[in-house]
Amino acid sequence: MELATVAAAVTSTAARPHGPFSSPRAVSVSWNNSPSLASTSRRCLSTPSRRRLRRWLPVTSAAVELREAAAGGGDSLRVTETPQPGSSVKFSVEVPTSIIRECYQTTLQEYAKRFKVPGFRPGKTIPENILINYVGPQHVQDATIEAILKHTLPQALSSVEERALEDSVRILTQFDDLRNSFSLDDVFRYDVAVDVVPEVRWLSEDKYKNLKVVVEIDEAVDAEKAAEKELQRRHKALGLLRVVAERGLQIGDLVVLDIFAESINSDGSKGEKISSAESTGFHLDTEETNNLVPGFLGSLIGIHPGEARSFPIQFPESFEQESLRGVHAQFTVVCKELFYRELPKMGDSLAVKLLPGCTTIDEVRERILERCKEVEKTAIEQATDNAILDQLGKLVEVDVPRALFQEQGQQLYGAKLLQLQAERKLDKDQLASLSTQRSVQAYLEDEKENITRIIKQMLAVGDVFKSENLQYSTEQLIKEVENSIAEFKQYNQDYDENNIRQQVQDVLEAAKVLEWLKENCTVEYIRR
């Protein structure tokens, strides 16, 4: 972060007049510890990113440091630095009267140039008391305070210039307190804080060396099994549904159900209705039961059309919907319709219907298996990457700064919105409602643990990339930046090319680190 640019303006959440030093191109400095949230849908990529900064440098751990900083010649500022939690540094600044008076005179000169005071020709010297009365004493004082901050902030924060996170500077002292304590004859004091690049502390001496990773591969990823299921699915799609008239439900049937559910209290009495578990006209294929609550299908075997059954079930502790985990429920199910499939005989004559372009069943099997192997390979690679990153994040301790948390959280939320928009699940009104500060803040609170985990992984990756002197090509960077920009344009999203470039660099760094770790760590695969 170029701290010199901070001097361009200081904006406050409190309403106050714009003095002659206001600048529409200024870097915003938040007041009273109140960060502003940018529009997240405009600055989003689906990958972890770092705020723009110089490069990783170790964070000083000294308790308090007292120093003097020259402010453009003349008397020096007195600055006390105090490390704060969250990789933040607090600066208590004392500005001497010589600088205060200099800023005061500069303020008057600027007002004299900009305002036409009745009775005075342009360029004519305006007495100080007349100018102040014309502009307003409070406006002059406020503009002088802003001038002091503009003049002194770069010098006050110079010790962390190489480590400061962009847009993390915030004035801690209330502006009203600055007004009340302001005097041309006394030292001007204020507190300011800035977040700095956090230190990555490895929990073991060998850091990431000799890394051992266990990758769990879901059974559904198995290419052989997946290919067989896909062939069965295609075969079933060619069958005809026939009404079952003289028997009850059995495995292989398709049944239409009305499902009702209510919780059971600890004393056995009826509880509340479980709306999320209820459905009308629910189509259940008895051969595809992966998403069913254990025991549900078994309780329906033999049910006839028009019959209703009631039975208790306990939701497993691993159930996807957290509010239902471990809940005891009473289900009432009505069988509305019951069908069986009349399947055509499997043979070469069916090949072209199962997969266009094929002439034999063996060819169908071969091509489906080939595709499933590609999917399996991609899934295993992704699972390996995730496992390595997860393990890497567990090997470090990081005091995550607020600015970095806000930035990463907004990036992830924006990526989520972009994905939903790409999948046409959001219209413009829905996108606007989900892009409000309230929606973003709710996401940050709900996903705090996940965001922090990603930041730790991201910082660990950066440390490995630097330590191992890894590199990527300029051609790769240019190509990926162009692809990302094209994606933003495709969905009419505003974007910051510099921000995109930084994020793409993060992606490429992560790819290089993962490639290096795969070659230098032990990976064990377990099927589940």
Given this chain, do its domains 65-197 and 379-527 carry the same CATH topology? no
Domain range annotation of the chain: 65-197, 240-342, 379-527
How many percent of the chain have pLDDT more than 70? 86
pLDDT of residue 376: 92
Cα distances (Å, whole numbers) of residue 163 to 60, 198, 451:
10, 9, 22
Average confidence (pLDDT) over 68-94: 83
The burial of 500, by beta-carbon neighbours within 10 Å (0-12 exposed, 13-18 middle, 19 or more buried), is given as buried
Residue of higher predicted confidence among 264 and 13: 264
pLDDT reported for residue 491? 78
User: What's the rounded mean pLDDT across residues 361-372?
Assistant: 96
Is the pLDDT assigned to residue 238 strictly greater than 90?
A: yes
Compute the mean pLDDT over every residue in the chain, rounded to the nearest whole number.
83
Is the pLDDT at 57 greater than 70, yes or no? Answer: no
- Residues 427-435 have a mean pLDDT of 79
- In percent, the amount of the chain with pLDDT more than 90 equals 60
Summarised one tens digit per residue, pLDDT across range 213-233 is: 999 888 777 899 999 999 999
Give CATH for domain 240-342. 3.10.50.40
184 CB neighbour count, 10 Å cutoff: 12
* The predicted structure's pLDDT at residue 72: 54
In whole angstroms, give the CA distance from residue 286 to residue 252. 5
Residue 13 CB neighbours (<10 A): 13
* Amino acid 99: pLDDT: 95
Structure tokens at 165: 């996170």
| Per-residue confidence (pLDDT) for residue 151, from 0 to 100 | 93
**Does pLDDT of 262 surpass 80?**
yes
Cα–chain-centroid distance for residue 97? 45
Is the separation of the CB atoms in 179 and 120 below 8 Å? no
Distance in angstroms (rounded) separating the CA atoms of residues 341 and 322: 36
Within 390-436, strands assigned E span: 396-397
Decide if pLDDT at 469 tops 90. Answer: yes
Between 15-24, 222-231, 250-259, 415-424, the lowest mean confidence (pLDDT) is in 15-24
Query: Could you identify the residue written with the tokens 């919907």?
Result: 321
Higher pLDDT, 40 or 416: 416
Q: Which pLDDT score is estimated for 221?
A: 79
Residue 73 binned pLDDT confidence (cut-offs 50, 70, 90): low
Give yes or no for residue 22 having a pLDDT over 60: no
pLDDT tens by residue, 382-414: 999 999 999 999 999 999 999 999 988 988 888
Model's pTM, two decimal places? 0.65
pLDDT higher at 117 or 361: 361
Quickly state the pLDDT bin for 26 (edges 50, 70, 90): very low
Model confidence at 71, pLDDT cuts 50, 70, 90, reads low
pLDDT at 25: 27
Nearest of 310, 313, 299, 312 to residue 333 by alpha carbon: 310
Instruction: Note the pLDDT of residue 494.
Output: 81
pLDDT at residue 67, as a whole number: 56
Question: Range with the lowest mean pLDDT among 10-14, 168-172, 504-508?
Answer: 10-14
Distance between CA atoms of 19 and 413, rounded to whole angstroms?
36
CATH class of the domain defined by 379-527: mainly alpha
Instruction: Provide the 10 A C-beta neighbour count for residue 260.
Output: 18
> 175 pLDDT exceeds 80?
yes
Q: What is d(CA 55, CA 388) in angstroms, rounded to the nearest whole number?
A: 24
- Is 65-197 a domain of CATH 1.20.1530.20? no
